[in-house]
Structure 1
Amino acid sequence: MPDTQLVLEALSALSGCTMEQTDGASVITPQDFVNVVALKEFYRQEGFKELEYPSLGTLSLQEDGDLYSSPMPLAEGPHNPEPSGSLRPTVKINPQDFFHPQYDYDFTHVKDGDRKFLRGNEQYLRPCGWNRVALRVMQKYDDGDAWLGTGSNAWPVSYHGHNMDGSLGIIWTRKGSATDDPEFLDAAAAALVDKGQTKRGRGVYSTPDVKIAEKYCKKFKSKVDGKTYQVVLQNRINPEKREQCQREDVWLVFVPEGVSDVQKRAIVQEAIRPYGLLLKQV
């Protein structure tokens, strides 16, 4: 496993919280973490400025820079003050109950070439070039661990890049208008195939291709070694809960209008389960 402080920086960059190590129990679980990351992007897509999350309080949805910028430094300083504590909460993480080093895997120098891998009878594009920090998610769900396996009843692998759905959401608000922006072509990803009808892609996006997620990933400069890293979440996605997009390399967990905050959390939790944090030095 990479340096613990480096990994906590990566979690901080993705969540917008300040992650700190503790010897006590972790305040959140890996599932809470992916809920926060996904819902922050969704709420931002919907135009909200803040997100309330149990055990964390109020989280700011204000961006700390453009898509490819580093996050705000984790420590206060005269030239880079922290946001209000109520909007950037400090979250205590115990590495022993949050990470699972036994299943770490360094893909940094791995090249799969023509080799094929399957998860849930669907192609698994391994995150070659990335270093995976495993999250402790085994024996955490009532339906067992089959979702995390390699058999036919396993869930397919998906990757979540910071601001992925936020970017596509912005594109959707411009749908039908003239634009020279190359990213406008990605609007096709939000067009869902549903009984021959196309509906607006409102929800949480992910992709089976880490190269797509990398286009939207968060970057941060580590205070541990001064190097810049990219960070992406590696998840499993419930094949019964995702929507098929016109682009095969983008999936959507649809969030209907009018559902409560509790229902939104439930939708994410039933559809997306994290199991790895991916790091890549730039």
Structure 2
Amino acid sequence: MLSFQVGQVVSNDRPAAGPGPAAPGSESESVCVDNSWFLLPQLVAGSFTGSFTGSFPRSSFLSLRSESRSRMSAPRLNLEALSALSGCDVQPTTGPSQLSPQDFVNIVALKEFYKQQGFKQLEYPSLGTLSLQDLDTQDLYSSPGALTGGTPSAGPEDGSKATIRINPEDFFHPQYDYDFTSIKDGDKAFLRGDERYLRPCGWNRLGLRVTQRYEGGDSWLGTGKDAWPVSYHGQNMDGSLGIILTRGESAGEEPEFLDAAAASLVSGGTRGRGVYSTPDVATAEAHCKSFKSKVDGKTYKVVLQNRLNPEKRRRCQREDVWLVYVPMGHSHLQTRAVVQEAIRPYGLLLKEA
């Protein structure tokens, strides 16, 4: 046990609805010092400058300290993971990040969606034309048609990657990192927004800086009834994972959606129009991107951990597949708005392959 001088530790187990900073998933350990709550990573990183008496397991401190040093020594590994997910060349900058975490998940989701539709390029504000072709993997989709007028455009096809400048300081949120690599939940049950939360055991999560970034506060990121359920986004997740069918919803809510589902059953096709994700990290892992790091030579798997707006989510025939439906005829701007209203990222998951 480790002891600290001055003050008093009241508890090192912050209740889910208790005081203190709202941590994504409330999975970080914390201590209460003179009625003020501090996460253990803050103590390790030195963001708490006072001292206090009390104790907590030495193994927790050493594990967090080791993890903190590992994060500090491999910031480029995190950017390599972003590069692998986005298909872009993500480079560090000391200035403002070119994209926010929300922009990033927009790009990942929109690239997958438009690949399903058979396109090769995507126009995104501040970045211009992005290739939908993965340079290191075989294209899984059919040849595209021409695109014009405010939709993803058919630009140069030289296969080059767009460069994205990211400042790790304003993109990542180390306070909310969490190491699940040695955790096994077994029969333990967790809920987020009245939906079962399958934690990403076996993975290391890098927190993304998303608190106080959205209207309405951070309740979507909490653990209460107003929280959004957790979903995981890998790569090449499309309608082949499950025929589009709603469960427990009125047929009159979205007739176009149900017509599309019926058409897919009649035609034998299974791909639906929208963005797919899963509440089960094991399903995401089966479809995730992997990359070989230039930092340490190891191969890693990478997945995005998101919260999904329950009002925008549709269920598929498979229980472990969720869909954010994009109606036929939506413009590119409308499609981007659907994604932005439905999916909010909060973690980047890494795992050695």
TM-score by length of 2: 0.67
Q: CA deviation at 1:88?
A: 1.4
Which of 264, 268, 271 pairs up with 2:339? 268
Unaligned runs of 5+ in 2: 1-67, 141-156, 252-257, 265-271
Give how far 1:63 is off.
Answer: 2.8
**1:111-148 per-position Cα deviation (integer Å, ceiling 9, x unaligned):** 00111111111110000000000000000001110000
Aligned to 2:113, what secondary structure does the other structure show?
Answer: helix
Hey, what does 1:36 align to over in structure 2? Answer: 107
- C-alpha contact 2:242 2:316 (8 A) present in aligned 1: no
Contact between 1:67 and 1:216, CA under 8 Å: does it hold in 2?
A: no
- In the alignment of these two chains, the number of paired residues is 248
2:276 and 2:131 map into 1 onto residues whose CA distance is 20
Please show how residues 203-218 of structure 1 align to structure 2 within 5 Å.
Answer: 203-218=274-289
d(CA) in 2 for partners of 1:156, 1:143: 17
For residues 93 and 115 of structure 1, the distance between their equivalents in structure 2, rounded to whole angstroms, comes to: 37
RMSD: 1.8
| Greater Rg over alpha carbons, structure | 2
Distance 1:54 1:35 in 2: 11
Give the SS at the match of 1:205.
Answer: strand
Match of 1:132 in 2: 205
Contact 2:233 2:278 in 1 (8 A): yes
Query: Are positions 1:219 and 2:290 aligned together?
Result: yes
Deviations 1:236-269 (A, max 9, x none): 0000001121211100000011111111111000
Larger deviation: 194-203 or 255-264?
A: 194-203
Q: 1:122 aligns with which of 181, 191, 195?
A: 195
The 8 Å contact of residues 190 and 196 in structure 2, kept in 1 or not, is answered as: yes
Q: Aligned AA for 1:259?
A: H
CA contact under 8 A between 1:227 and 1:281: conserved in structure 2? Answer: yes
Determine the C-alpha separation between the residues in 2 that align with 1:275 and 1:128: 16
Distance 2:161 2:337 in 1: 23
Structure ranking higher on relative contact order (CA contacts 8 Å, 6+ apart):
1
Does the CA contact (< 8 Å) of 2:242 and 2:317 recur in 1?
Answer: no
Change (3 A) 1:35 1:54: same
For residue 7 of structure 1, the aligned residue among 67, 78, 87 is 78
CA distance in 1: counterparts of 2:197 and 2:246, whole angstroms: 22
What corresponds to 1:76 in structure 2? none
Q: Name the SS for the 1:128 alignment partner.
A: coil
Secondary structure of the equivalent of 1:41? helix
Identity of aligned residues (%): 67
- From 309, 312, 319, the equivalent of 1:241 is 312
Structure 1 length-normalised TM: 0.84
SS of alignment partner, residue 214 of structure 2 = coil
1:26 aligns with 2:103: no
Q: Which residue of 2 aligns with 1:75?
A: none
2-structure distance, mates of 1:253, 1:187: 13
Does 1:160 find its partner at 2:236? no
For 1:187 and 1:153, locate their aligned partners in 2 and report how far apart those are by CA, in whole Å: 28
* Cα pair distance change 1:67/1:219, threshold 3 Å: farther
CA contact (8 A) 2:309 2:342 kept: yes
Equivalent in 217, 222, 226 of residue 144 of structure 1: 217
State the partner residue of 2:182. 109
3-state SS of paired residue (1:63): coil
Secondary structure in 2 matching 1:164: coil
Tell me the equivalent position of 2:124.
Answer: 53
Q: For structure 1, which runs of at least 5 residues remain unmatched after alignment? A: 69-82, 172-185
Q: Which amino acid in structure 2 is aligned with residue 253 of structure 1?
A: V
Q: Secondary structure at the match of 2:111?
A: helix
- The letter of the residue matching 2:325 is F
Q: Aligned AA for 2:317?
A: Q
SS in 1 for 2:82: helix
Distance 1:84 1:119 in 2: 44
Query: How far off is 1:67 after superposition?
Result: 8.7
8 Å CA contact 1:192–1:245 kept in 2: the answer is yes
